[in-house]
Amino acid sequence: MKTYIKLFFLSLLCLICSSATAQNAVRAKQILDKTAALVGRSGGASASFSMTNGKYGKASGFIAIKGNRFYASTGNVEVWFDGKTQWSYMKSTNEVNVSSPNEAQQLSMNPYKFLSIYRTGYFLSMKDVSGGYLVHLKAQNPARSIQELYITIGKNYYPRSIRMKKGKGWSTIQISGFKPKNYANTFFFYNKKKHPSAEIVDLR
């Protein structure tokens, strides 16, 4: 009888823990859904960002987004992405590298990329922090290029920082000055007239 009671309470405890985990994941997704709806408005948006990476150091600049398109500038580098093709202008070499980046490469230049990847392939959890929420994403498949993310989101549902794990290294992106905008799709396509003397290097 005692063994039966112990098993009953153990099963009940497991059920409660499982239910709490599921509810936490649902809340994490609700927060990300609200952030995606706010940031992913049809006209686009802009913000300032600073990124710290143990391997490459620090960089800061400006970013504009519209759906899965983005433009980013750090002063030494300009990047255009039209949803499929990426053009990276390197001021130091006067080159434009053309590529088809994976999701980790996109996130390294576009901190809002997480808005299109959290819906599938990640375990979600969250906790309340001062002034907002900390949402944790962990890849269900350890081979995924972005293995883990910690996203700090304000109570206004604007993302404030993103900590990303790729391989064994971590990168941290701070975001500020978010502003709704109305960008034409052509804004995210490289125009050769901007750097007419630059050499085009196709890496695809």
The model's pLDDT over 8-21, given as tens digits with 9 standing for 90+, comes to 445 544 444 445 56
pLDDT in tens, 136-167: 999 999 888 888 999 999 999 988 998 988 77
Closest CA to 91 of 106, 77, 71: 77
- Average confidence (pLDDT) over 75-92: 91
Scanning the structure block, which residue is given the tokens 């049809």?
A: 42
Distance CA 110, CA 72 (A): 7
Per-range mean pLDDT, top range of 57-61, 113-117, 197-201: 197-201
Question: Which of 77-86, 108-117, 187-196 has the least mean pLDDT?
Answer: 108-117
First-to-last alpha carbon distance for the chain, in angstroms, is 68
pTM for this predicted structure: 0.76
pLDDT value, residue 154: 94
Compute the chain's Rg from CA coordinates: 20
Q: Hey, which bits of the chain come out as E strands?
A: 45-53, 57-66, 69-73, 77-81, 86-90, 95-99, 122-129, 132-139, 148-154, 159-166, 169-180, 199-202
Give the right CATH number for 2-202 from 2.30.29.30, 2.60.120.260, 3.30.300.30, 2.50.20.10. Answer: 2.50.20.10
